[in-house]
Amino acid sequence: MEKLWTENLRDIEPYVPGEQSSDKDIIKLNANENPYPPSPESLEVMKKFDIAELRKYPNANSTPLKAALADYYNVDIKNVFVGNGSDDVIAIAFQALFNSELPIVYPDLTYSFYPVWCRLFNIPFKTYPVNHDFRINPDDYREKNGGVVIPNPNAPTSIGEGLDFVRKIMDYNRDSVVIIDEAYVDFGGISSIPLISEYENLLVTGTFSKSRSLAGLRIGFAIGSERLVSVLEAVKNSYNSYTVDSLSIEIGRASVLDDEYFKETCRKIINTRQHVTEELRALGFVLPDSSANFLFVTHDKLSMKEMFEYLKEKKVFIRYFDVPRIDNYVRITIGTDDEMDVLLKEIRGYIDYVKA
Amino acid sequence: MEKLWTENLRDIEPYVPGEQSSDKDIIKLNANENPYPPSPESLEVMKKFDIAELRKYPNANSTPLKAALADYYNVDIKNVFVGNGSDDVIAIAFQALFNSELPIVYPDLTYSFYPVWCRLFNIPFKTYPVNHDFRINPDDYREKNGGVVIPNPNAPTSIGEGLDFVRKIMDYNRDSVVIIDEAYVDFGGISSIPLISEYENLLVTGTFSKSRSLAGLRIGFAIGSERLVSVLEAVKNSYNSYTVDSLSIEIGRASVLDDEYFKETCRKIINTRQHVTEELRALGFVLPDSSANFLFVTHDKLSMKEMFEYLKEKKVFIRYFDVPRIDNYVRITIGTDDEMDVLLKEIRGYIDYVKA
């Protein structure tokens, strides 16, 4: 017989994080990580950091990091929120800003954590299918709702939309909070941050895990009106006063200040992406123009699931989704030029293997 | 007129974190931080750490850190949960384990975050007053409830209880989950971790912020039955797959492995505490024997609020609580011997000043 105390345990389906491998021989193009190391300034910060300082609690407001972001985005520090990765930031935003009986809305093909947070926080939700070309139709978002969340660029589709698109969403949703999730924006997308002065109900979220090569440190942020940020702060401070640690505050700040390195690595990834896109199309693959650090790839005559498994045996890890509508697609993270050359070589090998 | 979108914002009273000062001249005895730096092994880890690794996500299961804790406490790795500070760990435990219509119960004088989490997660709660000598009466905890949380040693009272006390609580509460919050246990308290094999409904939480001098890194943990830990993991993974960053995993692990340094700094704090306790009693102060890294102090003839303010002007920060029952008490963190000598000198100065 089950014991009585087990009745009070939260009954929630465990979300299993994606597989990680520590095998150094693997070419890891499955987690949208940046192939380049973080800014060399991070190393300087680590070298100079006085380890004795770790005995003290971090700055509860993460002020040095927020101040750097406020300068960078030309907003007030009161428009900036930071957290333990953008998952922490968006989870707090869901808790803080989506308290309606109406469902929140988002695209059917998108970040897989949105429904997980909805279930965790008991938020009703509804999805709108993306078009046949995987673009989001802004006119779907005219229905009354409890909130809107849209990633731009979207994942796993890689497609970015411009400010006209975001303005339409905002104009249709004057009575809801709208979150634009810009995890991938720095690879050629268009940021909605300049719109926060026009729309007090707009929250834009970002991460240091992709374009800033700091996934290992867990830094996320949100930019929005003072009103929205103050509600995020109230919920965050009711949960954990110190979510961003002292080293992350300093290393994150150094990353923001080293804009030259940041722009250079983003540019390298964009150039590699362009080259790989052309090579794949020449091989008959079909993929939208990407605004992110990954490609969303299919082929009329090849099984993407089999190709994924073939590449895995060759120690090239990409991502396959066993999900309706996209079960013949793979998501391929942009690595270094050398890594992508190996990928292309192994893909050619797979095509030969299928033909044989 | 308030806009409609503001209706969906969470209406929660902001919790304001305690004041921090970066003034190096201040003797900071107000946050229960450790006066000693973390293990020198932490510095070695920082020096050897390959900064390029930060481009990758951390180990989602924090395995190296969990394995070290499992070895240290002689439990299985499946009995270990880790998070972003013990506030994160306890907040997840409240969400995961306290899902009853009945109130959870805890002492009236205790960690100020318990009611904050209850309000955040809509958990009903009830408190039992501690005795006139500030000890918790285990017989209060016989009523049917939705869960129990007790810090041992308790804060701000500094009083620790033994395993007989915990066994009583457990035996009265076979139908509830019981959390024993051991943030301060390493300074001479008695840990309940050996009881987890007997009581499947017991969760013991701990932190690296006090005895391990790593408040700046945000590492907390919980030890309990596989069943309890699996529910914590499910909720944590539904919130944020990567709560502990790569540097914290490695530095935390190094701290656990360097047991000699750990025991030596704890012993130093215990010795200093003994000395300061005697000096304060000689000056007419009344305080219980502390099992923590702080003292809970009053005086029949002196205003603790005024003393707190006097010391603040002398740049010695201690903690005063404007709370019923304890509004003539202060909490004083144990610093180095030199810091405590300054404290005692300034307290003598205050006594002279009051007499004059």
Of all residues in chain B, the one with the smallest CA distance to A113 is B238
In this complex, do B8 and A52 lie within 8 Å of one another by their Cβ atoms?
no
In this complex, do B54 and A214 lie within 8 Å of one another by their Cβ atoms?
yes
Q: Which residues of A touch B250 (CB under 8 A)?
A: none
Give the C-alpha separation, B355 to B335, whole Å: 27
Q: Which residues of A touch B231 (CB under 8 A)?
A: 9-10, 12
Q: Which residues on adjacent β-strands are paired with residue B312?
A: none
In this complex, do A218 and B99 lie within 8 Å of one another by their Cβ atoms?
no
Number of separate helices (H) and strands (E) present in chain B: 10, 13
What is the model's pLDDT at position B272? 98
3-state percent breakdown (helix, strand, coil) of chain A, nearest 5: 45, 15, 40
Tens place of pLDDT per residue across chain B (356 aa)? 678 899 999 998 877 766 667 778 899 999 999 999 999 999 899 999 999 999 999 998 999 999 999 999 999 999 999 999 999 999 999 999 999 999 999 999 999 999 999 999 999 999 999 999 999 999 999 999 999 999 999 999 999 999 999 999 999 999 999 999 999 999 999 999 999 999 999 999 999 999 999 999 999 999 999 999 999 999 999 999 899 999 999 999 999 999 999 999 999 999 999 999 999 999 999 999 999 999 999 999 999 999 999 999 999 999 999 998 999 999 999 999 999 999 999 999 999 999 88
Assess contact for A34 and A265: CB atoms under 8 A.
yes
Minimum distance, in Å, between the CA of residue B356 and any CA atom of chain A: 37
What is the model's pLDDT at position A141? 98
Assess contact for A88 and A81: CB atoms under 8 A.
no
Give the C-alpha separation, A316 to A347, whole Å: 10
- Cα diameter, chain B: 64
pLDDT in tens, A199-257: 999 999 999 999 999 999 999 999 999 999 999 999 999 999 899 999 999 999 999 99
SS3 B330: strand
In this complex, do A5 and B201 lie within 8 Å of one another by their Cβ atoms?
yes
Chain A interface, best mutation among B81, B99, B239, B261, by max A CB count within 10 A? B239
Model ipTM? 0.95
Minimum distance, in Å, between the CA of residue B135 and any CA atom of chain A: 26
Q: Which residues of B touch A51 (CB under 8 A)?
A: 37-38, 42-43, 46
Minimum distance, in Å, between the CA of residue B302 and any CA atom of chain A: 31
CB-nearest partner of B241 from A60, A87, A247: A87
Give the C-alpha separation, A107 to A105, whole Å: 7
What is the model's pLDDT at position A14? 75
pLDDT in tens, A325-337: 999 999 999 999 9
Minimum distance, in Å, between the CA of residue B44 and any CA atom of chain A: 10
- Those residues of chain A that have pLDDT short of 70 are 1, 17-20
- Which token pair is A166? 């975001």
What is the model's pLDDT at position B2? 78
What is the model's pLDDT at position B21? 72
Helix intervals (H) in B283-318:
304-313
Interface contacts (A, B; CB < 8 Å): 267
What is the model's pLDDT at position B17? 67
Q: What is the pTM of this model?
A: 0.96
Minimum distance, in Å, between the CA of residue B126 and any CA atom of chain A: 17
In this complex, do B216 and A176 lie within 8 Å of one another by their Cβ atoms?
no
